Chain A
Amino acid sequence: MEITLPKTSTVIAALLRADFTTLWRNRRAVVMTLLVPMIIVFSWKAYVAKAGGAFVLSNAITLGLVAIGLMGYPNSIARDREKGVFQRLRVSPLPLWTIMASRLIVQLGLILLLTVLVFISGYQFDHITMSVGGYACTFVAAIVGGAVYLSLGQVIVGLIQNPESVNSTARLVYFAFIMAGMLGQFEEFSGEFKKAVEWTPYGTVKTILASSLEPAKWDNHTNMALLLTLGYIVVFATLGIKWFKWNTK
């Protein structure tokens, strides 16, 4: 009997429908992820006048990206791997890459939603407005920045099999990034510490986001941050894919 394979677009559409449904039914967790950056925008009102709207918005978006990439993505992958969800899909005729592509597209959708919500809350709470070009550039920068944390999440889920350990490690890395990233910007800390934080994944993503919001301020420092960001993506994604196992046995 002649076998015909389903179209890749049909398979991707089916997987996306399932993955978006899963995300929708987990909306409480999603709301919590999106709420924190909005709270940052609201509570950092004082910094708008002092450091500028781009500073506040870029920090809020970066914080959300870290949460999506390090908390949401690796935990869902680790859980489904443990339950055998991937094994069930692997024995069907779909191309393997479509399983992960669908998961990542859902996360990218979430990143875009986060960015829009931060823009809206920035306008609502702090009356921050940017140029159209600034908003457009920030969407692209948010995708690039999100890719850093998603690939770092992939490293965690590649290195660690147990879902509980993935969860605790992701929390630890999340905490470390947030603490170093946010505290590193305050004047109370030494210049060396601040400089080091600037080149961490938190710092570089924040830099490209801030410059994207105000494209006129894009300079050589931003170029270096962008290059380093792309380097982080390549290294983390390569390691994350290389170490990833589809099952826990």
Chain B
Amino acid sequence: MNPQQQANILEVDNLNVYYGAFQAVNNVSFNVLQGEIFGLLGPNGAGKTSTLSAVEGLLKQQSGTVTVAGYDTLKKPQYARAAMGVQLQATSFQPELYVGDILELFASIYKVALTKDKLNALLSEINLADAGNKKFGQLSGGQQQRVSLAITTIHDPQLVLLDEPTSGLDPQSRRQLWTRIEAIREKGNGVLLTTHSMEEAEAVCDRISIIDHGRIIATGTPQSLIDKHRNDPEVIAVSRRGRITLEDVFIALTGSAIRS
């Protein structure tokens, strides 16, 4: 789809989030289009999760607006949340519930009719046909991520928010998850994901923003950012592979110092 013709599914405008006197998000603005995977990249503590939390409604911004599928998250929070599917960084469910129970719970919350056959089909789709009677805590990390993504997308949301979805996964699980994320895009839904992995950003994101100290310092397609900064002395100085990568650009823009 031509980006010019795509509508915004998420609009973040001059967002500011404070924790007491500390400003975690500073005048952040960006948009996610229908059928687009948008990556929010940044070092630890850069403001990625705070930005995402404000979009999700877990944090209340001090100023700025967030609009999901046309609904302002402060004025129509329930409608905005109904239009999105969220996978948090650390998601858990009541440990006594089986995977089938959890899927049924969230299907009801999102007003999705989930018959026994549909439940089985959903489990088969995520290669967990025999996991319906297992507890979430008994699943491996990759299996938990698949269940979590199935819950996130159970109502076919217009916007999917994924907070570091592949962290801690093995390469096979990561690749499989990328395929699932790309399938969401193919349906015409928007995806906003945060990640530390430049490989992931290059592999799946149509556009990215690099955020540091609460501010967005660069936005564009991964390739356009590489092209734009290819000849910067800072980028060349940190380059290690004889060719300029997104990671080189990222480190040059955000600095080499380790963040807490």
Contacts and interface: CB of A to CB of B under 8 A. Distances in A.
Contacts of B81: 91-93
B194 to A, nearest CB: 15
A217 interface: no
B158 A93 contact: no
B106 interface: yes
A6 B108 contact: yes
A80 B136 CA distance: 14
A21 B158 CA distance: 31
Chain A CB within 10 A, most for which of B58, B82, B109: B109
Interface residues of A, number: 31
A83 B104 CA distance: 20
Contact of A14 (B69, B96, B108, B158): B108
B44 to A, nearest CB: 14
Interface in A6-42: 6, 10-11, 13-15, 17-19, 21-22, 25-26
Given A3-B69, A3-B82, A5-B78, A92 B109 contact: yes
B175 interface: no
Contact of B92 (A1, A5, A83, A93): A83
B94 A88 contact: no
A225 to B, nearest CB: 37
A94 interface: yes
A90 B108 contact: no
A91 B58 contact: yes
Interface stretch (B83-91, B204-212, B223-231): B83-91
Interface string A72-116: 000000001001110111111111000000000000000000000
Contacts of B177: none
A95 B58 CA distance: 13
A90 B77 CA distance: 11
Given A22-B94, A95-B78, A3 B88 contact: no
B82 A93 contact: yes
Given A21-B101, A91-B56, A92-B109, A84 B88 contact: yes
B69 A5 contact: no
Interface residues of B, number: 31
A84 B92 contact: yes
B109 A11 contact: yes
B187 interface: no
A101 to B, nearest CB: 14
Contact of B79 (A10, A11, A25, A93): A93
B119 interface: no
A88 B79 contact: no
Chain B CB within 10 A, most for which of A17, A80, A83: A83
Interface string B25-64: 0000000000000000000000000000000111000000
B178 interface: no
A193 B117 CA distance: 64
Contacts of B18: none
B168 interface: no
A84 B91 contact: yes
A190 interface: no
A87 B92 CA distance: 9
B161 to A, nearest CB: 8
A3 B101 contact: no
A11 B107 CA distance: 10
Chain B CB within 10 A, most for which of A21, A26, A90, A91: A91
A247 B102 CA distance: 20
Contact of A84 (B69, B78, B90): B90
Chain B CB within 10 A, most for which of A10, A93, A247: A93
A220 interface: no
Contacts of B90: 84
Ordered nearest first, which 9 A-B pairs have the shortest CB separation? A14-B108, A93-B82, A83-B92, A25-B96, A91-B86, A6-B111, A93-B81, A22-B96, A93-B78
Interface of B: 56-58, 69, 71, 78-79, 81-84, 86, 88, 90-97, 101-102, 104-106, 108-111, 158
11 contacts: A6-B108, A6-B109, A6-B111, A10-B111, A26-B96, A83-B92, A92-B86, A92-B109, A93-B81, A93-B82, A94-B78
Given A5-B82, A90-B58, A93-B79, 17 more contacts: A3-B82, A4-B82, A10-B108, A11-B108, A14-B108, A14-B109, A17-B104, A17-B105, A18-B97, A18-B102, A25-B96, A83-B95, A84-B92, A88-B92, A88-B93, A91-B88, A92-B110
